[in-house]
Structure formats: structure tokens, C-alpha cells
Chain A
Amino acid sequence: MATAAEEEANRPFAGLSDVSISEDIPVEGDISVPVGPSARRDDEFSTLDEPVKETVLRDLRAVGKKFVHVLYPKRSTALLRDWDLWGPLLLCVTLALLLQGGAADSDYQGGPQFAEVFVIVWFGSIIITINSKLLGGTISFFQSLCVLGYCILPLTVAMAVCRIVLVAGSGSVSFAVRLVVVTASFGWSTFASTAFLADSQPANRKALVVYPVFLFYFVIGWMVLTFSPSQ
């Protein structure tokens, strides 16, 4: 009975240890290891040895590919499938930096500070995500954050354009130009994000999800448009 109990204890570990496989079961067929989590782990371990430049470039390439997807919003699932938050972080930081230095005089603290832009972007995205989940969306939390973050790209570009225009002058012509640019990019952002997000909602509730997104990009667009550089 003791040996039977030992065998009993041994058999569960048959898969782990290479010690022995039960002799009475003939082994035949070909051993092909399916590409499962164990293979993945090996893969991850191997990327530890690669040079840093390669890792960084790979991530940058992924981010760049997603930028292209935002600029030409087709119905593709690339943004959703391989979500990452590097792109949104990069865009948020760029936007916040570009919005710095918008003080009319040293006492004026009403312009958006760096932390403010950060908080608005991230908490706005979180609220929209929670809202879309509560309305019965099928998209996951981080996927939604990823999409909303990436779709800030047109507004960041508009911010850069606005700053360049403001260097030339800040009269009503420049305001008209900036208005057109910001409106166009705001429309682009909203359209791009709804192209990705609206699919995950039940058909009759799309408007309920689109409205907060509209409001979110409207506020960011407002911040971009009303930016006035320090004298």
C-alpha cells in the first residue's frame, strides 16, 4: 500500500520531472510543443538580452504605427488589440509642455498648468471609460484609455500649429486661422475615437457614449484655442 501511495504521489508530478514516465503506457507519436504560455515566457526572457536600442525602437515603431492608424481612422482593431499607454503619455506630456508659458502677466495663474492638463486628460479619459462600461460597452478599461489617448494626436498637432501661428502675430486673422485649425482637429479627434469606441457599444446607445467624448475633446480644444503666449 505504501508503494501504491508513493506512486499515487509521484504520478501528478509526472509532467514536471523528467524522472520517469509510467512504463506500461507506450509513448508514440510526435512531440510538438504548442506555442503556449511557456513559449511566451521563453520569448520574454530572451528579450532581456537584446540591446536597449532595439527595445526602444520596437516600442517606438508600435507607437508610430498607432499614430498612423489615428491619422487615417479606418475600422481596424490594431489600436484595440495591442493597446499600450506610451503613446498617450507622450502626447499628453507634449500637449502639456506646449501649453506652458501662456501667462499674460506673472500673476495670472488661470492658464492651464502642466499638472492640470495631465489631470484633465487622464481623469477625463477614465470617466469616459467608466461611462462607456456602465452603458454596457464591451471594450476593456485600458483599451479605451489607449484609444482616447491616441486620438489626442490631432489636437496636439493643432497646438503646435497654433504656437507657430502665434509667433507670426495674434490678431484676428491669426485667431480665425487658429479657430479653423482647432475646430478641424477637434472634429478629427472625435471622429477617430468614435470610429474605435462606438463599435463596442450596443447600437442604440452610441450617442450616449459619443457625447462625453465630444465634450472631452471640446474642453481640450478650448484649452488649445484660448492659449495666448506671454508677452
Chain B
Amino acid sequence: TMSAGSGNKNTEPWGSFDDNLIQGSGSAVIDMENMDDTSGSSFEDMGELHQRMKEEEEVTEEAAATEDHEDGEFLGMKGLKGQLGRQVADEVWQAGKRQASRAFNLYANIDILRPYFDVEPVQVRSRLMESMIPVRMINFPQKIAGELYGPLMLVFTLVAILLHGMKTSDTIIREGTLMGTAIGTCFGYWLGVSSFIYFLAYLVNAQITMLQMLSLLGYGLFGHCVVLLVSYNIHFHFLFYVLWLLCGGLSTLRMVAALLSRTVGQTPRLLLCGTLSVLHMLFLLYLHFAYHKIVEGLLDSLEGPNMVPMQRVARDVPELTINATVRSLVPLLRAH
């Protein structure tokens, strides 16, 4: 299609040569060869063309030399050659550009992704809502939309929310920057976990494609976005746990149901769905605690073992220093 398209633009790929050089007699030789886009022999064609140009040049030189008023007027010949040279250079440039753009269109064609972005706002909205509603039918494969716009936007939204949460909690990051960490975490989760679950699905022969997995997990992040948006602004841990179970649980159930409907066998189902639920729920937990302000030192000490690789610097917050009575309560709580 590409050759036909470019061919239609100026009737022949090497149209300009045809117009100037060959008045119809030699054009067939060039045309037929170059109409075939997949030949990949443009360099040979160019070489041939160049050769033909040189021959023409020699012919015209001869013709010029035999003409009367060109006698001894070498400037005229040089002028001719100069213009010829310019034209040759120009056409070589055009040819090179054409080939480069053809290669570019072949390999860096964003049109490959175009069908995955073919959505309407209404569809996106309905899919967002549906991502929180598990569907019970697990005997027939559930329909999973294969689009990338929604998931991509959700990942970026999660990045933005995470940045907001990190900033309000004054998280100190030793290795790297806030922005880099946020982007790395979110994209890493989306792409990494999708690939991992797809790999597991491939092992247990589940009927799901990579695109569908990306889409499913991406939309599953909608619940995460909602929970984090609320909990980063309302610092109420009990609320967070409720939301974690509710929204996180619902979106996980939705993904699990979709996967169940496409997997056969008890063990594969258990493996796939168990892995996904654990990873998804733990991620939400991680996002909340790793990037969130811990106001009470009490909870800080309780959650010590769950801390993430990112270092937490002991902050000297004078007004919240735990006094002796509270300190004595800690071992009691620990005993629980």
C-alpha cells in the first residue's frame, strides 16, 4: 500500500527523472523496477540512475563540443556541467530522502498503535465504571476491551496522584528523584506485572493476549487512583483500610473473574488469580505506606518491618514525640 500511495502522489516514484531525462523511450526501464516497493534495491536503482545521468552528461558534452558557437568557449561547458551536477545532487538528495522516509514509515510507524486508541469518551467512562464491577459469568470467556488509551491515562493519573502524596508527606528520597520514582513505580508495575501475568497465563495456556492483559490491569488501577486520592488527603488510617478492602477488592475481583473465565483447570486458575490478587492488593498497600505521611510515631514503629527499600529518615517532630506512657503501650501492642 505504501508504494502505491507514494506512487500516486507523483505518478511515478522517479517522476522527476522521467520528465527531464527520458522522453518516454527509456522511462519503462526505470518505472517497472521501482514500482516494486519490496525490492529494496533502491541503491542499485540509484546507481543505475547515476550511471545514466553520467552517460547523458557525456552525450551532451559531445553534442556541445560539436556545436559551432561552443568552440573554445569552455565556460559554457562548465556552466552546463555545473547545472547538471546541481540537478544530480538534488535528485540524489530526493531519492535518499524518499528511501529514508520509507524506512521510517516502516519501522517507526505510530499507525501500528492507532487501532488501540480508537475510543470514544463515553466508552472510556463506561469502562472505568465497569472496572469496579465484577462480572459473575466465569463459564464463558468475558469480553476484555483491547484499548490502550484508558490504561495509559490511568497510569499517568496515578503518577500525578503519587507525586502529590509524596510531596505532602515530605518523603525524602536518597536515590533518585521524586518524579523519576513515581514514573518508574507506576509504569514498572503496569508493564512488569502485566508481562508477568501474561507469562504465567502463557504457561497455563489461558486465553488472554498481552494487549488484553495490559488493558485489564490498566483499568484495574482506577480503583487504586480513587483510594489514593482519598487517603492522601484524609489521613485516617481506618478509612484507608476500608477503602483498600472495598475498592481494591472490587477491582481485583473484576480482574480475577475475567481471568477465571479464560482459564481451564483448578490449579492454573488458582495460580493465576492468586498471583494477580496478591500483587494488586499489595501494590495499593505499598503505595499508601511508602509515600504517605505517618503522623503518629506509634504506627511508624508497628509498620517497621513492612518498610520499602526507600529509606525513611527519622524526623525530629517535637510536637509529636511519644511520651513515656505511650512508649509503655508499645510492647503491649506488639504482644498482640
Q: Could you tell me which A residues sit within 8 Å of B by CB distance?
A: 5-6, 8-13, 15-17, 19, 107-113, 116, 120, 130-131, 133-135, 204-205, 207-208, 211-212, 215, 218-219, 222, 226
8 Å CB contacts to A: which residues of B174-192? 174, 176-180
Question: For residue A204, which residues in chain B have a CB less than 8 angstroms away from its CB?
Answer: 120-121
A-B contact count (CB 8 A): 95
Besides the known contacts A12-B22, A19-B80, 16 further A-B residue pairs in the complex with CB atoms under 8 A apart: A6-B60, A13-B60, A13-B83, A16-B80, A17-B80, A109-B173, A111-B178, A113-B177, A116-B179, A134-B110, A135-B149, A204-B120, A205-B121, A208-B124, A211-B153, A218-B160
Question: For residue A222, which residues in chain B have a CB less than 8 angstroms away from its CB?
Answer: 160, 163-164, 167
Q: Are A110 and B178 in contact (CB under 8 A)?
A: yes
A112-B179 contact given A204-B120, A222-B164, CB 8 Å threshold: yes
Q: Are A120 and B179 in contact (CB under 8 A)?
A: yes
Q: Could you tell me which B residues sit within 8 Å of A by CB distance?
A: 19-23, 56, 59-60, 62-64, 76, 79-80, 83-84, 87, 110, 113-114, 116-117, 119-121, 124, 149, 152-153, 156-157, 159-160, 163-164, 166-167, 171-174, 176-180
Main SS of the interface on chain A?
helix
Q: State the 4 A-B residue pairs at the shortest beta-carbon distance, nearest first.
A: A134-B117, A6-B63, A207-B121, A12-B20
Question: For residue B56, which residues in chain A have a CB less than 8 angstroms away from its CB?
Answer: 9
Question: For residue A208, which residues in chain B have a CB less than 8 angstroms away from its CB?
Answer: 119-121, 124, 149
Question: For residue B149, which residues in chain A have a CB less than 8 angstroms away from its CB?
Answer: 131, 134-135, 208
Of A110, A131, A218, the contact of B117 (CB 8 Å cutoff): A131
Of B22, B60, B116, the contact of A10 (CB 8 Å cutoff): B60
Question: For residue B157, which residues in chain A have a CB less than 8 angstroms away from its CB?
Answer: 215
Question: For residue B172, which residues in chain A have a CB less than 8 angstroms away from its CB?
Answer: 107-108, 110
Q: Are B114 and A134 in contact (CB under 8 A)?
A: yes
Q: Are B63 and A9 in contact (CB under 8 A)?
A: yes
Main SS of the interface on chain B?
helix
Question: For residue A109, which residues in chain B have a CB less than 8 angstroms away from its CB?
Answer: 173-174, 176-177
Question: For residue A226, which residues in chain B have a CB less than 8 angstroms away from its CB?
Answer: 167
Question: For residue B59, which residues in chain A have a CB less than 8 angstroms away from its CB?
Answer: 5-6, 9
The residue of chain A having its C-beta at the shortest distance from the C-beta of B152 within the complex is A131
Question: For residue B64, which residues in chain A have a CB less than 8 angstroms away from its CB?
Answer: 19
A131 to chain B, nearest CB (A): 7
Q: Are B177 and A110 in contact (CB under 8 A)?
A: yes
Question: For residue A116, which residues in chain B have a CB less than 8 angstroms away from its CB?
Answer: 177, 179-180
A64 to chain B, nearest CB (A): 31
Question: For residue A107, which residues in chain B have a CB less than 8 angstroms away from its CB?
Answer: 172, 174
28 contacts between A and B (CB under 8 A): A5-B59, A9-B56, A9-B59, A11-B23, A12-B20, A12-B23, A13-B83, A16-B83, A16-B84, A16-B87, A17-B83, A109-B173, A110-B178, A111-B178, A112-B177, A112-B178, A112-B179, A116-B177, A130-B110, A131-B117, A134-B110, A134-B116, A134-B117, A205-B120, A207-B121, A212-B156, A215-B153, A215-B160
